[in-house]
Structure 1
Amino acid sequence: MDKRERKEIIREELRKNRRDISDANFREWSDKIISKLKDQREYKTARIIHAYVSMNDRREVNTHSLILEILNEQKKMVVPVTQFKAGNLRHFYLESYNELKPNKWGVLEPEGGEECPIEKIELVIVPMVGGDEQGYRIGYGGGFYDRFLEDITCPKIGLCFEQNMVDELPIEPFDIALDKIITEKRIIRR
């Protein structure tokens, strides 16, 4: 079995783990993770923050309240927009939560607005299906974030539930390690 096949098996297992999280745990664990994130120096000092808009029905660590908070602070909020044909992400400033509309996967995205050059971004908050002790992540397998993270020089922090952390993921040359992964129980630093 090659690395890609092993990754697919792990991805499916971790997605099932996430689907089984109760509503109460989902809310409690997400709140703990977001609280820890806001205590990080990288978060406190960043003025332009890029964050995924969580798909709560898929039990991604909930970022909705964080996005609302950033919009109310003296920080700029940037969110990704998926370019399905090109296989990459574009990045747009978000002025209001109401600008978000579901794309074909049900991911909330702005339909337009001002694009943010990636070199202006000071912190990227990364979605994960799972992660490992070395700071690597496993996503949905489309490679959208891998291609984006390859071009980013600012800190990259992943948000993941502890139950979806594994000792070691099968790593391929295009996989990018994160600077930190925050779970409800701990912070993994690279």
Structure 2
Amino acid sequence: MPATPDNKQILRTQLKAMRRGLGPSLRASVDAALARHVLGLPQWEAAPIVLAYLSVREEVDTRTLVASALAAGKRVAAPRVVGPRRLAWYEVGVGEAFERSRMGIDEPHERPERLVDVGALGADALALVPGLAFDARGYRLGYGGGFYDAFLRDFAGMSVGLCRSAMLLESLAALGATEPHDLPVSLVVTEMGTRGQKTRPRVPASEGAGISPA
């Protein structure tokens, strides 16, 4: 099924309702189990830097993972919107004070000395990637801003999609929710474990590449 704005918007509306329906206590329990799987990844252990979105509302929690990374002595960077489809990543520390954006998202302060050059990071870097849903091949449905689509094209490290199992779909392409330029994440982690292989070719959806179901 070809991707259309209508297909994507209908699916986003359905998935947001499904996510809210999980309830706060179930989401918290699921997210705690999911975090344990992330912390058990050898790539997490080896990563000198973790790029992490700052979770809000019903998103999969990243605050625990950020705290764990900082406690382990890793560098941690969080994103700030700096233009259409553009994120800048700034290092953050323990007890960091964030700015609340007009979209209601916490962002790091714009401090040039803390700016991270994403394109210069090596394969051992690790990024936590948000999404309304992921599929078995690692493709994601985001919120429509295109920020992480652009980010994945520049990032050479391990990209980890955080996904509750209720939001893990078989195929976003079959639902008309992928486009030819979309790239999959390296690995999807749910509260049940991991889906996918440890490395992947950076090939767009139009060429049928992605991570294989576990």
**TM-score normalised over the length of structure 2:** 0.83
Q: Which residue identity does 1:80 align to in structure 2?
A: P
Per the alignment, residue 15 of structure 1 pairs with 16
Per the alignment, residue 138 of structure 2 pairs with 135
Q: Which residue identity does 2:170 align to in structure 1?
A: D
Per the alignment, residue 177 of structure 1 pairs with 184
Q: Distance in 1 between matches of 2:8 and 2:172?
A: 7
Q: Distance in 1 between matches of 2:180 and 2:161?
A: 19
RMSD (Å) for aligned C-alpha atoms: 1.5
* Cα shift at 1:165: 1.3
1:101 aligned to 2:108? no
Q: How many residues align?
A: 187
Superposition misfits of 4+ residues, deviation over 3 angstroms? none
Q: Secondary structure at the match of 1:3?
A: coil
* Cα shift at 1:105: 0.8
Per the alignment, residue 64 of structure 1 pairs with 63
Q: Secondary structure at the match of 2:116?
A: coil
Q: Distance in 2 between matches of 1:126 and 1:185?
A: 18
Alignment of 1:1-80 (within 5 A): 2-4=2-4, 5-55=6-56, 57=57, 59-80=58-79
What whole-Å deviation, never above 9, does each CA across 1:141-184 have from its counterpart, x for those lacking one? 11001001111111110001111111111321221101111111
Alignment of 1:123-162 (within 5 A): 123-162=126-165
CA contact (8 A) 2:49 2:76 kept: yes
Q: Distance in 1 between matches of 2:96 and 2:104?
A: 15
Which deviates more from structure 2 when the two are superposed, residues 15-24 or residues 143-152?
15-24
What whole-Å deviation, never above 9, does each CA across 1:123-149 have from its counterpart, x for those lacking one? 111011001111111110110010011
Consecutive unaligned residues of structure 1, counting only runs of 5 or more, are: none
Per the alignment, residue 110 of structure 1 pairs with 108
Q: Distance in 2 between matches of 1:98 and 1:42?
A: 25
Q: Secondary structure at the match of 2:96?
A: helix
What whole-Å deviation, never above 9, does each CA across 1:71-117 have from its counterpart, x for those lacking one? 2221000111112x433100100023432221111111112231001
Q: Which residue identity does 1:185 align to in structure 2?
A: M
Q: Distance in 1 between matches of 2:158 and 2:87?
A: 18
Q: Distance in 2 between matches of 1:45 and 1:75?
A: 10
Percent of pairs identical after alignment? Answer: 27
Q: Distance in 1 between matches of 2:133 and 2:95?
A: 27
Q: Distance in 2 between matches of 1:184 and 1:65?
A: 15
Select which of 165, 168, 176 maps to 1:165.
Answer: 168
Per the alignment, residue 89 of structure 2 pairs with 91
